[in-house]
Amino acid sequence: MSTLLKVDSLGIQFGGLKAVQNVNMYMENGELIGLIGPNGAGKTTTFNMLTGVYAPTEGTITFAGKQIQGLDPYKVTRGGISRTFQNIRLFKELSVLDNVKVANHSLANHNILSSIFRLPKHFSGEAKMEEESLAFLKIFGLDVYKDELSKNLPYGMQRRLEIARALAAGPKLLLLDEPAAGMNPQETKELMDLIAFIRKEFDLTILLIEHDMNLVMGICERIYVLDHGQLIAEGTPAEIRSNPKVIEAYLGEEVAD
Amino acid sequence: MEWIQQLVNGISLGSIYALIALGYTMVYGIIKLINFAHGDVFMLGAFIGFFAIARWDMHFIPALLMAMILCAVIGVIIERVAYKRLRNATRIAALITAIGVSLLIEYTVIFFRGAAPEAYPTIFENPSFNVFGVQIDTRSIFILTVSIVLMMLLQFIVHRTKIGKAMRAVSHDADAARLMGINVDNTISATFAIGSALAGAAGVIFGIYYTRIDPLMGVLPGLKAFVAAVLGGIGIIPGAMAGGLVLGVVETVVSALGFSLWRDAAAFVILILILILRPAGIFGKNAREKV
Amino acid sequence: MKKSKVFWGYAIIALVLYAVVQTLISFGMVNTHYQNMLITMCINVMLAVSLHLVIGVTGQFSIGHAGFLAVGAYISAICTMKLGMPFSMAILAGAVVAMLAGLLVGIPSLRLRGDYLAIATLGFAEIIRIVFLNIDYVGGAAGMQVTHQSTWTYAFVGTAITILIISNFTNSRHGRACIAIREDEIAADAMGINTTYYKVAAFAVGSFFAGVAGAIYAHNFYIIQPTAFGFLKSFDILILVVLGGLGSLSGAVLAAIFLTFVSTYLQAFPETRMIIYSLVLILVMLYRPTGLLGTKEITDLFKFRKKGGTKV
């Protein structure tokens, strides 16, 4: 195993507010890691820094040997990190198939001229995109909906499409932001099986944000815990479960609620 | 001493822009709409003032007040009829509607009275007076006085009255304001009323200063006032005043340097520079989209 | 294979349409007034379709399209009148320079969003107009004499190429990238789309065809003046896209054809025309903010039932 992702003293300030500070993480190739923490702990902000949406104000992110902090999101994605969004962000007026094709975009190479003049390269390129995208839909059981507008999909299917779309961008590292949010236990179980499947099938490394501790404990090999923008613990599920700081962070939240 | 005169002219022009810009900035601050029709309310104000002074022999102050009151009413009608339904529409839909309202006002006026300009009556006996060897235009001083009084009045309303407090609350967070028992609809209407009254006043003093008014006169000053609002940081009241003054002075300087045909381009060059370099304006803070 | 059949179907319809009108013109059965209307119609279709690419497909709200029309008009007029170039070369030159102007405007301003972008494009269009106003070489405010060279053939071929290329662009991975930007720019970026590149590309292609329209426009009247390219002209183009449906190419085409009729018949009553236009803008936005066709194409209405899409 080798290190795919290394995060060194990462932090970001909004105005005077330090949203996240001094986060150190690493991920080995093929690991499935959980990132947990109470509401507002900075989990999504960390994701946003890893994917280039926010430029960190301190620290470095090294991915596959290259520093990527502050790169534009599309460059990060092309480099091999892709993500889903906590608050589903599908392309609503595009069909299910087209949603996946958009993510497949950067893997195709027919240029604008070949498309506007309908050169042979355009047809072969589009055919390849169609084939690959359909294959992803099939894995997620979405191929029957391929011509449906994505906004018309049921909620659980929209969450699945988010993952299918992220996968179509061809990542080595997949970041899943609360993929099971709003799902019932049955749907959640199916989703987790699916994640286990694609991880093997595509040789993926996965970082998973989850609010639900029990769920993460079940599938992750290691877990990072964020609270108030700082890492308060890391370790195996068993270690995390018995870590007093983690218990306090979560209990504190319940008391506050 | 030439440049002092130019500076005074620039400040006078700038204070007209500032008065119009205040309406833009207040409306944008509260409902995030570029009210394209605002320049046309300014035009209507100029015409109301014209009829009041030239046809009905009213004195200047009552004419000014009448223009302000009628424009306030027109502003509220526009808001209630066209914009109110668009609160939850996309920004583009709201913008297109505003463009539509603007064109509708302009061409309805042309439809009823034609596109020919009117000559404003003169209300000052002495066009200029002499201060330490500098010729100062009487009307410039007058415009400045009216503008300063109105801006002070606005500051008082916004910071010292209940409706002003409500306006600030709604522009900060409309939903929270509603939960706190503020009548958001009325507050928005009041914002339109105040902004439109200022535009109406600007129309009258524009007429007195430039003596020529026509149904399309609001288009360019309207756009430039918007530039002034962006320059000062849209949504910020002192910003609109400062932006208006800066723009007025810049335009006058460009004209004085012999580039009068380029004068109108100056405003747009400023706009583009500010949008690209500092989109939040001189006094604004940058906001980021939540992901 | 199915798709190429559809293409040849449209090609045949277009050819027949062209031939019928051309025959009527050759036999002198269409007077100059109607010929003018047909050419104006083509110009409006080109403008509508090119702006549709920017606003409807890519979701970038530009209200300065008249600026690129002006560039195409003036550059082509300079080519024919001052440099003695043939009309077809002048059209191409006008289009290319309009595209360059589009790049010049687009690269800085497309970083802005929504209404800020709208105002910036409007400002740029005004600057372009004021620049032409101040160049004595092209006649300044008095305008520039241009010979009448636009024919039905030029106008029709220009329109057909505009529609073909913009439709080809839209129905490819590049067009999908643009639509993704319209739908959710942040998600598009996260899926590996270079959003700036595609926004600028759509803007440049749109400006190119506005330039073609400008060249044909300039050579259809005997004079071009800066006043013809003010923001009222930009709004005229905007209403075509808005009425047809933000995101519908066929909607833009139909709106352009329909409104050309309307404005031809209201030519003697310009105020009435503008009052109707503005009311249409307001009413469409209040009651059907996506435009008449929304993002649907007219062809979707026919195949809707046959396909029997999956029920969800």
Whether residue B287 has pLDDT greater than 70: no
For residues B69 and B49, give the distance between their C-alpha atoms in angstroms, rounded to a whole number: 11
pLDDT tier, C306 (very low <50, low <70, confident <90, very high otherwise): very low
**C165: which chain A residues are within 8 Å (Cβ-Cβ)?**
116
Whether residue C304 has pLDDT greater than 60: no
Q: What is the ipTM of this complex?
A: 0.91
Whether residue B290 has pLDDT greater than 90: no
C43-91 pLDDT per residue, tens:
999 999 999 999 999 999 999 999 999 999 999 999 999 898 999 999 9
User: C201 to chain A: nearest residue by CA?
Assistant: A112
Q: Is residue C104 a contact partner of residue B232, using CB atoms and an 8 Å limit?
A: no
Q: What is the pTM of this model?
A: 0.90
B145-154 pLDDT per residue, tens:
888 888 888 8
Q: Is residue B128 a contact partner of residue B172, using CB atoms and an 8 Å limit?
A: no
Segments of chain A assigned to CATH 3.40.50.300:
1-80+171-257
A68-90: b or e for each residue (b if 16 or more CB lie within 10 Å)?
bbebebbebbbbbbbbbbbebbb
- Helical axes C270-287 vs B91-113, angle rounded to 10°: 150
For residues B142 and B139, give the distance between their C-alpha atoms in angstroms, rounded to a whole number: 5
Q: Is residue C184 a contact partner of residue C190, using CB atoms and an 8 Å limit?
A: no
B6-46 pLDDT per residue, tens:
888 888 889 999 999 988 888 888 888 888 899 999 999 99
Measured between CA atoms, how close is C112 to chain B, in angstroms? Answer: 8
For residues B286 and A129, give the distance between their C-alpha atoms in angstroms, rounded to a whole number: 39
pLDDT of residue A251: 67
Q: What does B218-286 look like in DSSP terms, one character per residue?
A: THHHHHHHHHHHHHH-TT-HHHHHHHHHHHHHHHHHHHHTT-GGGHHHHHHHHHHHHHHH-TT-SS---
Q: In this complex, is the C-beta atom of B57 within 8 Å of any C-beta atom belonging to chain C? A: no
What is the three-class DSSP state of A205?
A: strand
pLDDT of residue C301: 65
pLDDT of residue B285: 59
pLDDT of residue C303: 57
pLDDT of residue C310: 39
For residues B71 and B206, give the distance between their C-alpha atoms in angstroms, rounded to a whole number: 15
Task: Sort strands B134-137 and A173-177 into parallel, antiparallel or unpaired.
Answer: unpaired
Contact (CB<8Å) A53/B288: no
pLDDT of residue C87: 94
Which letter does DSSP use for residue B244 in this model? H
A170-190 pLDDT per residue, tens:
999 999 999 888 888 888 888
pLDDT of residue C115: 78
Contact (CB<8Å) B265/C127: yes
Q: In this complex, is the C-beta atom of C114 within 8 Å of any C-beta atom belonging to chain B? A: yes
Whether residue B5 has pLDDT greater than 90: no
Question: Percent of chain A beyond pLDDT 90?
Answer: 62
For residues A208 and A205, give the distance between their C-alpha atoms in angstroms, rounded to a whole number: 10
Q: Is residue A122 a contact partner of residue C185, using CB atoms and an 8 Å limit?
A: no
Of A46-50, B25-29, B276-280, highest mean pLDDT: A46-50
pLDDT of residue B284: 65
Q: In this complex, is the C-beta atom of B287 within 8 Å of any C-beta atom belonging to chain A? A: no
pLDDT tier, B140 (very low <50, low <70, confident <90, very high otherwise): confident
B62-79 pLDDT per residue, tens:
889 999 999 999 999 999
pLDDT tier, B120 (very low <50, low <70, confident <90, very high otherwise): confident
Q: In this complex, is the C-beta atom of A48 within 8 Å of any C-beta atom belonging to chain B? A: yes
Which letter does DSSP use for residue A86 in this model? S
A215-255 pLDDT per residue, tens:
788 889 999 999 888 999 899 988 888 888 888 887 665 54
Fold for A1-80+171-257, please state it: Rossmann fold (3.40.50)
- Mean pLDDT taken over chain C: 88
Contact (CB<8Å) A105/C193: yes
- Number of CB pairs < 8 Å for A and B? 6
**C109: which chain B residues are within 8 Å (Cβ-Cβ)?**
272, 275-276
Question: Percent of chain A beyond pLDDT 70?
Answer: 97
Contacts of B98 (CB under 8 A, 6+ apart): B33, B34, B35, B36, B37, B82, B83
Contact (CB<8Å) A85/B291: yes
Task: Sort strands A230-235 and A58-63 into parallel, antiparallel or unpaired.
Answer: unpaired
**Looking at chain B, which subunits does it touch, using at least 3 CB pairs closer than 8 Å as the criterion?**
A, C
Average pLDDT over residues B121-134: 72
For residues C22 and C39, give the distance between their C-alpha atoms in angstroms, rounded to a whole number: 12
